[in-house]
Structure 1
Amino acid sequence: MIDVLVIGGGNAALCAALMAREAGASVMLLEAAPKEWRGGNSQHTRNLRCMHDGPEDVLVDSYPEEEFWQDLLKVTGGITDEKLARLVIRASSSCRDWMRKHGVNFQPALSGTLHIARTNAFFMGGGRALVNAYYRSAENLGVQIRYGTPVHALELDGDRFVAALAGDERIPARACVMACGGFESNLQWMREAWGQNERGEWPADNFLIRGTRYNQGALLKFMIDAGADMIGDPTQSHCVAIDARSPLYDGGICTRLDCVSLGIVVNRDAQRFYDEGEDFWPKRYAIWGRLVAFQPGQIAYSIIDAKAVGRFMPPVFNGIRADSLPELARLTGLDETRLEQTVREFNAACRGEHFDHTIMDDCRTEGISPVKTHWARPLDTPPYFAYPLRPGITFTYLGTKVDENAAVHFGGRPSPNLFCAGEMMSGNVLGKGYTAGVGMSIGTAFGRIAGTRAAEAARHPRIHGAPDLEAA
């Protein structure tokens, strides 16, 4: 019998598998996707948010624990478990050497990502390179890897894991780690979770999935029905405003638009609806998908002029270009009169003389709502560009409740041999909101914990918290 069964194939699952194997356990990893699509959402990532008290390798200056915590507190609005969040923060300071040992390399932040050069360590080659490195290391260590093996249910004895069920196959193990993502790719579940709005729309019908199509949430649904303690709002997620022309699945990070803070964003009625300059983009990009989700038709347009060109990471799709605002309105289907009025009012409200996109500058608006707090400059220099935006869901926050040992809870009590890591338990830390790279921090921290604890549970089994007589 296998000691530790890991269900999932992304960063958290691979960290769990590697740690369990290093602890001496025999390990099998079940990845739902075929080999060519392995890695879950991790293949689309590019960095890890890291606490550090001074300059370290690719990280500049310092990013102490309290600042990390305050950043997380701000984006979540306090909907987070501080104990588990601080566990993630502290673990992020010491994981890079272990990652390097398994073939992950880092590089300095690229031009266009300097806002997070201090807080985030970038993977050389991005998430795909990280995933491939981990798979190579797992294979070299003797981890059994099976692709195309989605698990739909578990065999449980009360709160104890017995076996995984994949199709007609039963796969027993002494301990199990679930790290198989959320339910964002299950479009019907997303539709049910979001429901119908006051305009009679089903918002989720207009959502795009930035990541893998294989996160269907089958095991998550099973855990709900099995009575596991759950945490998180099913409508909360890592939800980014991405180019509306992106594919339904696997568009990845290149579909994100980074020009929002350099111009204005209007809905299909050509009206602004939120402060585009509230904070640095890495701290705010993940709120914009949800903002767009509540707009009519779940569509919006990021509009810039020639002054903004070259100041943000080039997107995968070209902007819709026009030499005048009326022409831009016609090309985007916006009302010409309303768009011109919105821009005219915005331009007249702009104040400040020292535009600097690298700091919280004094360029702001006065006398209009919503205000633009920073980086407000008149849109007056053609050509103009518009980028259509739709909500891009990366992963959902509904998940299993865990403790500091990554143990799944039933009725407030931890399972002796069932653990969870990654997106499937991210709601413990992320009640809402997001800040760049923290998903990989959560997956790495809890993946490593879950793998270690699962190996211990396999080696020293306990029955419903009974003393470990075998070890004694």
Structure 2
Amino acid sequence: MSPDVLVIGGGNAALCAALMAAEAGASVLMLEAAPRAWRGGNSAHTRNLRCMHDAPQDVLVEAYPEEEFWQDLLKVTGGLTDERLARLTIRASATCRDWMRRHGVHFQPPLSGALHVARTNAFFMGGGKALVNAYYRSAEKLGVRVRYEAPVDRLEIEDGRFVAAHVGGERIEAGACVLAAGGFESNREWLREAWGENGRGEWPADNFIIRGTRFNRGVLLRHLLADHGAERIGDPTQAHMVAIDARAPLYDGGICTRIDCVSLGVVVNRQAQRFYDEGEDFWPKRYAIWGRLVAQQSGQIAYSVIDAKAIGRFMPPVFPGTRAETLPGLALALGLDVEAFMQTLLAYNAACRPGHFDHTRLDDCRTEGLSPPKTHWARPIDTPPFHAYAVRPGITFTYLGLRTDETAAVRFGGQPSENLFVAGEMMAGNVLGKGYTAGVGMSIGTAFGRIAGHNAARAAQRQGARHAHA
């Protein structure tokens, strides 16, 4: 029997859509490309949700009003965001947690060292895996059917209306459909095509590590854009990209592969040169630009260098880095030119100006006369032992997606579809043109997943009513 609503995907946005549609009385079928053990996409690797709140609320301290959230988003995106949809996401983040709790999600105060986000982000008890499992349990109770290892390879669309989806040779009709199948970050060929050759004979995408699921290959995204003329949003080279441990596995290393000491030291490339301001802003607002910065360096590798003064001030990596008692010894251990490395470190140390160091605020420890500068938290690297972590670009999700509006409808030729909707990574580029701030991906997925599910149920009910009167 055909479902009222078909949800394609299996992560947070897809689950929110399925739950909302089921709550609205629709019969729902979810198609998840991954096996059951790997269900949930990138959502299984998440930890928290960025939340607007005007006063202290359970696990959130102080206040984080709409305007501050908006200004944070505006700053990290450089203005590449749709303000209407961004503010919709922000406002929705203030009211979604009670609904999440009703579906089994539990929250906890942030752990010590969790990026100073007790004011802005609500952490999931047990992380994203627990959230995903809670939603699947709730979906099952509501009668949502879930099929695993069911990748959809194409859709039938007539005049902007969804008709059916194809899983291999199987055709599945539905009254409405929600697309929440992720970006194309695990499609190496598409990444190579987007990034191209860098003029040094290198294809940067060949050295990208995929932080999350191997199943987000962008098959439906490309199909909608190329074959059906769906309206697009975003730059295919923009993504949530983090500087992660160069030793990380190719897929599913998740959050534990991140290196969080960047703002406490300096970062040098293979030529032992600094290339960006490590202290530009708080790490939660800047960690997701460093993957892209490293991707632009020779060999797509860089080295985060700290001294003993930084230890204990950041979430330690899973594996120890390279350690040495002297800076020349550290350069040798990293395989960097010792003379060039020492020139960079001595110039940095000499440029540091005395101040009152405080990593919990934008302090006055800065460099002077140095390019690039270090704007905050600049202290000489002079106290052994010295540590360094080799980092590579870790791509979480891509920002190229489907243009949408407040209804979460997919758009064709300037018109919204009446029964095809989109949520999560497939439309995040409407809010995130570039950059990132911690937890906002889950805010977008939750807001638009719920909107898409609700509107898909209404669209399916309208179609059912039309058929009944036909």
Contact 2:115 2:284 in 1 (8 A): no
Shift of 1:461: 2.4
Deviations along 1:51-92, one digit per CA (max 9) or x if unpaired, are: 000000100000000000000000111111100110000000
TM-score scaled by length of structure 2: 0.98
Shift of 1:470: 7.1
Question: What does 1:135-174 align with in structure 2 at a 5 Å threshold?
Answer: 135-174=136-175
Task: State the partner residue of 1:387.
Answer: 389
Counterpart selection for 1:420 from 415, 422, 426: 422
Shift of 1:269: 0.3
Structure 2 Cα separation of the partners of residues 152 and 315 of structure 1: 38
Shift of 1:353: 2.9
Structure 2 Cα separation of the partners of residues 416 and 353 of structure 1: 59
Contact 1:44 1:127 in 2 (8 A): yes
Task: State the partner residue of 2:296.
Answer: 294
Question: What does 1:54-453 align with in structure 2 at a 5 Å threshold?
Answer: 54-113=55-114, 115-225=116-226, 226-453=228-455
Structure 2 Cα separation of the partners of residues 192 and 76 of structure 1: 24
Shift of 1:114: 5.1
Contact 1:109 1:122 in 2 (8 A): yes
Q: Secondary structure, in 3 states, of the residue corresponding to 1:395?
A: strand
Deviations along 1:103-144, one digit per CA (max 9) or x if unpaired, are: 000000110125211000000000000000000000111100
Contact 2:257 2:317 in 1 (8 A): yes
Shift of 1:167: 0.8
**AA paired with 1:129?**
A
Structure 2 Cα separation of the partners of residues 422 and 277 of structure 1: 30
Task: State the partner residue of 1:48.
Answer: 49
Structure 2 Cα separation of the partners of residues 262 and 157 of structure 1: 55
Q: Secondary structure, in 3 states, of the residue corresponding to 2:149?
A: coil
Q: CA RMSD in A?
A: 1.4
Give every structure 1 segment of 4 or more consecutive aligned residues whose post-TM-superposition deviation is greater than 6 Å.
467-472
Task: State the partner residue of 1:26.
Answer: 27
Shift of 1:468: 7.2
Shift of 1:314: 1.2
Contact 1:460 1:471 in 2 (8 A): no
**AA paired with 1:21?**
A
Contact 2:109 2:123 in 1 (8 A): yes
Structure 1 Cα separation of the partners of residues 61 and 309 of structure 2: 29
Q: Secondary structure, in 3 states, of the residue corresponding to 2:30?
A: strand
Q: Secondary structure, in 3 states, of the residue corresponding to 1:447?
A: helix
Q: Does 1:38 align with 2:39?
A: yes
**AA paired with 2:166?**
L
Q: Secondary structure, in 3 states, of the residue corresponding to 2:57?
A: coil
**AA paired with 1:441?**
S
Structure 1 Cα separation of the partners of residues 459 and 325 of structure 2: 66
Structure 2 Cα separation of the partners of residues 384 and 84 of structure 1: 45
Structure 1 Cα separation of the partners of residues 375 and 222 of structure 2: 42
TM-score scaled by length of structure 1: 0.98
Q: Secondary structure, in 3 states, of the residue corresponding to 1:28?
A: strand
Deviates more, 1:62-71 or 1:106-115: 106-115
Contact 1:231 1:399 in 2 (8 A): yes
Shift of 1:158: 1.9
Contact 2:266 2:306 in 1 (8 A): yes
Deviates more, 1:139-148 or 1:107-116: 107-116
Cα 1:160–1:96 shift into 2, 3 Å: same
Deviations along 1:147-182, one digit per CA (max 9) or x if unpaired, are: 000001101112010111111111110100000000
Deviations along 1:412-447, one digit per CA (max 9) or x if unpaired, are: 100010000000000110011100000000000000
Gap regions ≥5 residues in structure 1: none
**AA paired with 2:246?**
A
Contact 1:164 1:171 in 2 (8 A): yes
Task: State the partner residue of 2:459.
Answer: 457
Cα 1:447–1:432 shift into 2, 3 Å: same
Contact 2:401 2:428 in 1 (8 A): yes
Contact 2:419 2:459 in 1 (8 A): yes
Cα 1:352–1:468 shift into 2, 3 Å: farther
Deviates more, 1:445-454 or 1:360-369: 360-369
Gap regions ≥5 residues in structure 2: none
Structure 1 Cα separation of the partners of residues 373 and 157 of structure 2: 54
Structure 1 Cα separation of the partners of residues 467 and 387 of structure 2: 70
**AA paired with 2:453?**
G
Structure 1 Cα separation of the partners of residues 324 and 409 of structure 2: 55
Deviations along 1:215-256, one digit per CA (max 9) or x if unpaired, are: 010000110121101111000000111111101110100111
Structure 2 Cα separation of the partners of residues 147 and 395 of structure 1: 21
Shift of 1:367: 1.1
Contact 1:460 1:470 in 2 (8 A): no
Q: Secondary structure, in 3 states, of the residue corresponding to 2:34?
A: coil
Structure 2 Cα separation of the partners of residues 104 and 303 of structure 1: 38
Structure 2 Cα separation of the partners of residues 403 and 300 of structure 1: 39
**AA paired with 2:302?**
A
Count of residue correspondences: 468
